[in-house]
Structures are given as C-alpha cells and as structure tokens.
A and B are shown apart, each in its own frame.
Chain A
Amino acid sequence: MFTYVRNRLLLAIPTLLAVSFITFFLGYLSPGSPIDIMLGQHSDPARVKQLEHEYGLDRPPLVQYGSFVWGAVTRGDLGRSFGTGQRPVTQIIAEQFPNTAFLACMAMLTAVAFGIPAGVLAALKHNRLLDRATMGFVLLMVSVPAFVLAPLLMLYFSLRLGWLPSSGWEGEEVSLLGFRLIVPYWQYLLMPMVVLASRPAALLARFMRSSMLETIRQDYVRTARAKGLSPGRILAKHAFRNAFLPVLTILGNTFGYMLTGSFVIESIFTIPGIGYQSVQSILSRDYPVIQGVALLVAAIFITVNLIVDILYGVLDPRVRYEGAK
C-alpha cells in the first residue's frame, strides 16, 4: 500500500507540472492581456510597454514560466495577483478556498444523504410508483442547470416568501488548521448548498439504483434470501456494500466537481470562494491567480482519486495494492 501511495504521489509531480505548463501557455496565447484589461480603452502603446515591463510580462514566456515554477518549488510562492491589490496568490487561495471547501462538504453530505437512499429505495421498489416518482424527480434535477435553479430558488424563497436572504455569505469566522473560515448561518448556506448538491445527488441516485438493481439479482443475494435472512439484513450486509463500490468512484469525482464546480453558484450567491475568484481572474486575465487555481484543482483531483483508490482497498478485500506499480 505504501509503495502504491508513494508511486501515485510521485506521479502527481509531472501531472502538476504539465497542468501548470498548459495553463501558463494557454493564458499566454489567449488574446487580451491583463494590461489591456487594466487600461481599457484609454490604452497607450507607451504605457502598455511600461506596465508590461513593470509586471515582468515583457520577458520571454519560458523565462516567465521558469520563474513561476522556481518560485513555486523553492518558496511555495505562486506569484502575485495582477489585480486585487497585487496580493500573493497563496494568500488569495488560503482566504477563499476554505469557504469553497466548506460549501462543497455540506453539499456532498446533502447529495449523499439524498442520492444514496433515493437510489436504494428506487431499486427496491423497481418499476413501482416510488421508483418512477424518484427517477422523474432525479431526471428533473439532472436537467436543470445551476444557473436556472439558483435564480428560481432565490425568486421563490427570498422574494416571494421572504424566508431566506437572496445571497451573501454571512456567518461566524472560525480558525481551522490555521485557515480563516466563515461558517455561514444556515439561512445563507441553504440555497447554495441545495443548488450545488442537486445534480450530484441526482446522479448518485441514478448510479446507486442501477448498481443496486444489478446486485440484488446476483446469486449470493438469492442464496441469502433462501437462507432465510431478513430483507433488512440482506440489504445492509450483502447488497448495499457491493452495490456501493462502483458508486464510490462517482463519489470521489463528484466531490472533486463540487470543490471546483461551484464557479457559477459562487458568483450567483456572492460567496467569497475560489470559484468566484476564478471567474474574476479569467475575465481580467489575472494569469498568476488562474495558474494557482488550476494547480489547486489538479491537486484536488489527484488527492481525491488517490483517496478513492485507497478506500476501494479498504472496502473491497479483492482489491489489493501490494506490489502494484
């Protein structure tokens, strides 16, 4: 297991390097520079040249990239933002990522709490009213994009009923592992959490249903029934555990999606997270922040996939990593 984890972590290094390289050169090649955005229509070629020099953008691209990698490797320095008061990128990420992570964790819990039981129930009541109702609802959730669902919820629960604030991220500031985190009041959390969880919950329900249907038709489940085990015990001890394994992979990717896929949601609900920051940085061509966020996203996916693979080994004795290269 140790060798496997070590190898995977070593493999992460070239992956992160490749991500940083691609992100840097995509940014470099994309039309519109941060100086163009900074100066707008009131641009002057002389001033553009001067500011490019002051921000180090007139250096050859490979030198710029090399200096970024050197800073990142030797000092953990991802550079400074061109906008937002030229704050260090690591500081921006450290300030905003905890909010995204908190929202993602809460949405993940919601998605699991809804999606898994809904999928199991639909499978157990296959082709009956409950199954059809659940799958109909799930289809609706999969089909409605976040940028539609979010304003609809805002219109209904904020404007019409007046129960919830339309947006914002008000709460108590807590310090966790040295990071400043805003734990929002439930009124501010509810709508973004539901919107972020809706699609993953629906997908989880569909996968869980399919996986469960396949499992309960297996011989060993039939044997368990024949042995006279209670339906609850068959479900808990035999069917669910095996049906859950394929869903675990989805769960890992879903969590990655939630950590990184809240761009629209954070912008709509004005949540000071990394998704909101990314949108702003892309629009203003703030390359250092874009690169920093891309690296973070890559690192998250690598870590989540590694954890899922390890969990596979924990949950399924047939899967073993000893000797794996």
Chain B
Amino acid sequence: MTRRLERRQKGLGAILRAAGILAVAAVVAAGGGGCVRRPGGPGGRANELRYPLAMEPDSLDMQASNSVVTGELLQNVYEGLLMLDAETKLAPCVADKWETSSDGRTYTFHIDPRAKFSNGRKVVASDVKWTLERWCWPETKAPNAQPVMQYVIGGNDVMAGRRRDLPGVRVIDPATVAITIDRPRAYMLYEVGTVGIMCREAVESGHGKFGSPQAVGTGPFVLKSYEPGRRVVLEANRDYFRGRPPLDRIIRPVVVSSETSHMQFENGEIDACAASLVDFARDRETPKLRDQCRVVNTGSVSYVAMDVRLLPVFRDPRVRLAFARAIDRDAIARVAYHGLCPRMDGVLPPGVVGNDPTARRLTYDPAAAKALLAEAGYPGGKGFPTLTLAYIQSSPNYSATAQIVRDNLKQNLGIEVNLQEREQATLIADLNANRLPFCLMRWTAIDPHDFLPTMLGAGSAQNHVGYRNPAFDRLCDQADAEMDTAKRAALYRRADDLAMADAPIIPLVNSGEFWLINPRVRDMRSNLGGMLPHYTTRVAR
C-alpha cells in the first residue's frame, strides 16, 4: 500500500514538475532573447497612429452596428455618397455632384468616375441601390435603418420583409442614382447621402458571415485585421481614389477603461485618447500634458428631463419654468464641467443649424422661480411631492450636476430631491418605456431635426417627456421641409424659443469630447459628429 502511494506521489510530482517547467519555458521563450518587440511600447513609428477603441466593435458590418465607437472606426473604411466636412457641411465624397428635384423629394447623385472600392472595382450606381436595400432587409438586423429608410419610397415594405427591392432607389445609369422620399425633408439628403456604400461581392463572399474580408468599402483605409478583445488594424488604401492618405497604418487597441487608456497615453504607448472630464481637467493643469489637451466640440446637449405624463406637477408650465430658473446652469458649467463645456440657452447646441448664440433663455433667477412656483400653488415648495432625479452611474460630472440641481431646488424652491444613480442598461430601458419622470440625460446629433422635433415633437418616439405643443410641431414641420438653410435656421430658432418658453426640458451644457493628442500627431480633424476619417492626419517620427 505504502509503495503504491509513493509511486502515485512520485507520478504526481513528475507531472507538476513538467507543467511548471513547460510554463516557465513558455514565458521565457515568449519574452526571451533580450530584445522584445513591443507593439504598444513607447515611441510609435512615423505615420502610424495608435489610439484606443473604448469598446469592442459590435460588428464589422457598418449596417449591423449602432455603436458610436464602431462608427468612428469604420468611417475610415466605408464612405457615403456625401460626407460631412470639418465645418459639418455636406461635401462631395463618392458622388462628386448631386441635385435635389424641384419638389424636394428626389436626390440625384452622380458618382465620381474615379471612385472605386479597396478591392479595385469601380463603384457603380447599383452598388448604392444594393447597399440601401441590404440595409432594409430583415436578415441584416440593422438597428438604425428604420429612422432613415422609413421615408424612402418602399422602405417600410422592405424592412417588413414584404419585398426585396427598393423602388425609391433608381439606377439611372451606371454613374447616376436617384433616391426618392415620401415628402420634402431637408435632413434626408444628409441621412441617405452619408450611408456607407458596401461592395456586394465582398459581402456575399461571406455567405452570411461578416469578417475582415467582407469589410470592403471605398474609404481611405482598409481593414487589415481584427483580433477580438485586442485590436483592430487599418492600413492605408494605397489606391484611394482621392489620393493616398498620409498615414500608413492605424492601430486601435481595445481599451475599455478610460483610466487605462489615459495611463497608456502618459506612458507613450498610444498617440491619442479620449479622456474622462475629470482626468482632462487635471491634465490641463499638468505642465507635461497641458499642450496635448484638445476639446472637440460636438452636437451634444446635457439636460434635465421632466415627464409631464408621469408626474402631474410637471404638467403646469409654471412649475417647469420655476425649475429652469432655479437651476444655476453657470454653476453646473463651472463646477460639474470644470468650465470646459459652455452653458446652453436652448436645445440646439452651438454649430447646429438654428442655434442662436445671442439667445439668453431661462436665466437663473431664484426670486422669479419662487414666484412662479407660488403661482402654481406650491408656495415655498409646500405640498410639492419629493422627487427622484435619476442619472447614469460612474459619471462624476452627472453626479456633480445632480447634486447642484438638488441643492438649487431645495434652497431656491424648498423642494426635496432624492438622487438615484442608475446602470446604463436599466436607465435606457426605463427611458424608452417612459418610466423616468425626472432625470438627467444627454443627446447628441448633428441636424436640428434630430434635436427639436425628435426630442420634443408630438409624433416622435424619442419624445421622452410627453411634450405636446401644436404650434411647435407646425414650426418644426415647416423647418424640416424648408430647403433654404437660412430660412430653415430661422424657423428652428423660433421653435427653440417656443419650446424654451414652456421648458419641457432644461438644457444645461453643451458637452463635448476631451482628447489628449500627442504633438507628433498633426491635422487630426473633427466636426460636430466627433473625429473625422483620417484623410489628413499625419504622425511625425
């Protein structure tokens, strides 16, 4: 018995020893040789840009993705007929010219004769038609097709699986394609014009699967590789029809923690990263990093939402106005946003068509707020229910904003507010189900249609506050159909005035993106939508 036991123990010992030796050998072999190649190490190569992806790409198929992070990555691979330039204005891209019919319903695009996919094939009009059809097909499971394609003739039928072809998109000749929508909508040129065009044979070669070989577009970069959980590598499209981009390669390591990516930037392992507001504010005071800080203005508005359907007290506009005038938005901009985000006086952020930089709406006036609340039947906050203000968790600026709102409402109006930090998924689920009576939210878009009528229009599914104002809806309808940008801006300005007179939401600040960019990186451009494709970006040695 003892000998048997000893034999077993010896056997076990041998296995353990072998495993140990193997493991140590594996590590030594991997790191051995003295000189270790460190792809993420300090000092990148010239014209090789390294910056993180804040989350895993949800798909390499641009049509199946609804992630902002994935969109920012894939915009370098896929291009639309049109693009938004650094001034957030529509500019030629795959189409070199376009026109809108006199009734405002049909857009005709002329494809640039030089335009070709990264596999070398020329882009033809049928590629555009197939791309838009595929976007609607149920099997694509495209999360964001419906808001756009519902207006293209036949779009709803294709999305419902009742037909496969899209009659609203006509191939006139190989270089000309026409897209017809249901009625004049000024924003639709941007919406349909910027859809990334896909290469049919490349997509079909995957037989239902979508990997790097299927991700073929016309953009300045080619998707070289994707290693889940690690990185995506883009390489310059050397035959890019508008001239080869200056960068040779873009390396996007997947780094979900902003603290980690900040540390990687400080350590020289990456060339740029988006920082949290708290880190960014501190970096601006750090001599080593001060010159590398860049604020990217985006079309974002952070606001307080008050749902009139869920809390009867909010149905009285005097209560909403009292709230708006009792909240010190300057203090929020200064304290919660470290003075980096300007106060907002309307729904439309700076740079968006219709924004009025001179408007001073809903100014902070505690005395007027108190009077309005008393007029509404709640003098000194008596009889007013205790509120719960919900906001997203792990966001110091939301947390600080919520505390300022709570203090302002308590001190200026005598209203008690409880704070509730919520996980993103449950917060969004409750928002979409209209179960959030009082919350802090943020909305980002580019076109005014995606702000005013979308956030506050009577027929919009994204109107999460239940605001109804026929005069406001009429103004928005007029603005949406108006093709003249100046007239359209004036109409939206009036709609913004009207909405702010009712204060269904209280805009707080125009929140942007906060970037750290190494001085070696030049000409990295952005617009209201965030970072642009890297047409011009260069990285010095």
Contacts and interface: CB of A to CB of B under 8 A. Distances in A.
B432 interface: yes
Contacts, number: 195
Contacts of B61: 85
Given A105-B23, A162-B267, A280 B56 contact: yes
B38 A187 contact: yes
Given A31-B426, A314-B12, A40 B66 contact: yes
A167 B429 contact: no
A320 to B, nearest CB: 11
B267 A41 contact: no
B30 A31 contact: no
Interface string B27-46: 11111000011111110000
Nearest to B41: A165
Given A36-B425, A44-B147, A186-B31, A54 B138 contact: yes
Interface string B337-373: 0000000000000000000000000000000000000
Q: Is the interface of A mostly helix, strand, loop or mixed?
A: helix
B312 to A, nearest CB: 24
Contacts of B428: 32, 36-37, 40-41, 43
Which of the listed residues B30, B266, B269 has the most CB atoms from chain A within 10 Å of its own CB? Answer: B30
A6 B45 CA distance: 58
Contacts of A172: 29-30
A46 to B, nearest CB: 7
A85 B57 contact: yes
B143 interface: yes
Interface in A160-200: 162, 165-172, 174, 182-187, 189
Interface in A271-292: 271-273, 276-277, 279-280, 283-285
A84 B141 CA distance: 13
Interface string A38-51: 11111111111011
Interface residues of A, number: 72
A229 interface: no
A302 interface: no
A169 B230 contact: yes
Contacts of A162: 42, 267
B260 interface: yes
A280 B256 contact: yes
Contacts of B431: 41
A170 B64 contact: no
Given A42-B462, A168-B253, A280-B55, A106 B27 contact: yes
Contact of A158 (B28, B56, B267): B267
B255 A167 contact: yes
A268 B262 CA distance: 12
A189 B27 contact: yes
Interface in B414-452: 423-426, 428-432, 441, 443
A304 B110 CA distance: 65
A158 B263 contact: yes
Interface in A62-86: 83-86
Interface string B1-35: 11001001100100000001001001111110000
A162 B41 CA distance: 10
B66 A268 contact: no
B260 A31 contact: no
A166 B141 contact: no
B9 A272 contact: no
Interface string B394-432: 000000000000000000000000000001111011111
Contact of A268 (B60, B257, B426, B464): B257
A317 B5 CA distance: 7
Given A96-B229, A166-B269, A270-B256, A32 B429 contact: yes
Interface of B: 1-2, 5, 8-9, 12, 20, 23, 26-31, 36-42, 55-61, 64, 66, 138-139, 141, 143-144, 146-147, 159-160, 210-211, 227-230, 253-257, 259-260, 263-264, 266-267, 269, 423-426, 428-432, 441, 443, 461-462, 464
Interface of A: 31-33, 36-48, 50-51, 54-55, 83-87, 92, 95-96, 99, 105-106, 109, 151, 154-155, 158-159, 162, 165-172, 174, 182-187, 189, 267-273, 276-277, 279-280, 283-285, 311, 314-315, 317
27 contacts: A31-B430, A36-B428, A36-B429, A39-B66, A40-B428, A42-B147, A44-B461, A54-B141, A99-B229, A151-B263, A158-B267, A165-B38, A165-B269, A166-B260, A166-B269, A170-B37, A170-B38, A170-B39, A170-B40, A172-B30, A183-B30, A187-B36, A267-B256, A270-B255, A276-B229, A285-B425, A314-B8
